[in-house]
Amino acid sequence: MARKTRFVWLGVILLGTGVLLGVQVGAYMSDDNTYESLKKLEDAFLVVTQKYVEDVSSSQLAESAIKGMLKELDPHSVYIDAERMRQVNEDFNASFEGIGISYELIPGPENRDTLAVLNPLPGGPSEDVGLLSGDRIVEVDGKSAIGFTNEDVQRSLKGPGGTTVDVTVRRPGYARKLSFTITRDKIPINTLDAAYMLDGQTGFVKLNRFARTTHSEFRSALRQLNSAGMQRLVLDLRGNAGGYRDMAVRVSDELLPAGKLIVSTQGRFADTNEEFRSRSGGLFETKPVIVLVDENSASASEIVAGALQDHDRALIVGRRTFGKGLVQQQFVLNDGSSLRVTVSKYYTPSGRLIQTPYLNGDRQAYYTSKWEQMEEDAAADRESAISSIPDSLKYRTDGGRLVLGGGGIVPDFIVYSDTLSPLMQTILAKGLERSFVRDWLDKRGSDFKSEWSDRRNEFFSDFEVKGEDLTDFVEFAGRNSVTIREGAERTVLGPDEEPTEFTTADFAADTALIKSLIKGRIAWRIYDRSAWYPVYRTFDTVLQEAMLLWTEAEEMAYTEAARG
C-alpha cells in the first residue's frame, strides 16, 4: 500500500453560495434584546470615535467590530474586505481583464526579481501579439519591471478591456529587446486543468475549483472524451477546495440518472432547507466512475463525491476529505466588502453531515483537529475506521454498501501518496527542477519549442530526458547549494533537518522521478499546465492504485444501472 505525503497544504477557500444584494434585517430581529444589543454597539462606537485620546479610523473600528462578532461563530463565517472581494469575484466568475499570461518571478539579488512569461494564454492578447514562453518582461509602459512584486504585476498588467499597455521583453537567443503593444481583453480562468485519455477506454478530468464556467467546461470535456471512446472516467478532485454549490450540483447531474438527490441543506429558517436533484440528459450517467479525493477536497468537491458514493455511481479513492459542510450566504455591504455567514449545513443523500465537528469561537482548535485527524487517518485503514466509529455514524448507500459519517467523505479505498525522499523534498522545496528547465529551454532558444509545438502527443510518448541532462541537473543543483557526492548510503533525516548534501545512491533511487519532473516542467512550458498531467501520472501513486480498481467500479456501476 502506498504511504502518505509528509507535507499537506490546507489552503481551503471559504465558499459562498450566492450574492444577496439586499436584506431586510428587521425580519430577523424578533425581540427587544436584538435592538438593545445594536444600540449598545452603536453607543460604544460613538464613545470611542468621539472621546478616545487619539484620532481613530471609524472604518477600522467597524471592521474590527465585524471581525470580532464573526470570531465567536463557526470557522467559516467570515468578513472579506472590498479589495479582497474583487479578487474573489474574479476567481469565481472565472474571468478577469488583462493581457493574458501566466507568469513567474525569477529571484534576483536584492529583491530585484525578474518577471518571466510562463505561458501566454491560448487566444489571449499576449499570444496574439507574439509574446512567448520564456520572455522576460523588463519594462512596462516605459518603466523598469525589474524588482516587480506580484502586486506590481497585477496593478500594471491588469486593466479594463480595450486599454493598452506597452511591454518590453528580453527573449533568450535575441541580442536586442523586443517591444509589444498589447490591448487588454477579458481573460477566462479555466477551472479544468486537464482532460485526456489515460488509455484507449479511460478518460481523465481534473477540476481545480467550482466557478461559474465549471459545468460548461466539464460538459465539453465529457463530449471530447466520449468522442475519443471513453468507457470509464477518473474524476480528480484532489486539492479542489470547492466553489459554487450550483456547479457541484450540475457536475454531479452529468453523472447521475434523473431524480436522484444530490445534496440537501438544513438550517434555522425554512427558506434555507433545500433539496437538489438530478435531471435527465447527463452525458455519462451509467458507465464506471472513480473519483480521487484528498484532505484538501472541500465543500463543493464533497457534494460531488458524497452524491456519487451514496448512489453507488462512483468509487471514491484517496484520503478523507476536509469536511467543510457549512453553507455561507453572502451579504454585500455598502463599500463592496462582504459578510459570508453560515445559514445551513450540507447533507449527503444518505443523510451524512459533511461538516466535521467544531466549537464556536475556537478556530485554532478546529484547524488543529484537522491535522490530528489526518495523522489518525494515516495510521488507519478503512476497516479500522469502521470498527472505531459509532453505529450512529454508519450509513448505507442505495445498494446497501456501508459509508461513514463524522465529517468529510471517507473513501471506499484509502490510498496514501508515497513519502518523498529527503532529496526530492529538497528539490521541490527549492524549485530546482523549475529553475533548471527554465535555463535548459533558454539555452535551446525557440528551435526546440518549434520542433515540438505541434507534436504534443509525440512529446509524451517519444521525448526522453537524457543522461547528459541529468548530469547538467546535478551540476545545476551544486551551483544552487545542493550537492550530490559519491556514496552508497541513503540519506536519513532527523527531525527538522534540512540537508543540502546527498549521495549518488540518493540520486540513483530518485532518477526516474527526477526525469519525470523535468519532462513535466518542459511540457508545461512548451504547451500549458494541462500538459503536466500526462507526465505526472507516471509517479502518481494514488492514480496508479485507482487504475487497479476498475473491476469493482464496473460491477457497482452496472449493478446500479440495472437497478435503475
The catalytic site residues sit at 299, 310, 324
Listed in sequence order, the residues at least 6 apart from 91 whose beta carbon sits closer than 8 Å to its beta carbon are 189, 209, 211
Return all residues near 201 (Cβ < 8 A) that are at least 6 apart: 229, 230, 231, 232
Q: What is d(CA 228, CA 545) in angstroms, rounded to the nearest whole number?
A: 24
Three-class DSSP labels, 202-213:
EEEEEECCECCC
Asked if 253 contacts 313 with a C-beta cutoff of 8 angstroms, the reply is no
The grid cell for 63 is 471592521
- The β-bridge relationship of strands 261-267 and 192-197 is unpaired
CA count, 13 A, side-chain hemisphere, 180:
22
**E strand segments, 126-271:** 136-140, 143-144, 164-170, 178-183, 185-188, 192-197, 202-207, 232-236, 261-267
Closest C-alpha among 367, 353, 492, 476 to residue 423: 492
CB neighbour list of residue 58: distance below 8 Å, 6 or more residues apart: 45, 49
Q: Which of 6, 16, 85, 542 is nearest to 324 (CA)?
A: 16
The residue to which cell 446497501 is assigned: 400
Read off φ and ψ for residue 440, nearest 5 degrees.
-60, -45
Taking the CA of residue 81 as centre, how many other CA atoms within 13 Å lie in the half-sphere pointing to its CB? 8
Count CB atoms within 10 A of the CB of residue 396.
12
DSSP state of 272: G
Residue 308 to residue 397: CA distance in whole angstroms: 10
Listing DSSP states for 85-100 in one string gives HHHHHHHHHTEEEE--
Please tell me what DSSP assigns to residue 241: -
Number of H helices, E strands in the chain: 18, 24
CA distance 520 to 312: 35
- Name every residue whose Cβ is closer than 8 Å to that of residue 238 and which is 6 or more positions away in sequence: 292, 293, 294, 296, 297, 318, 542
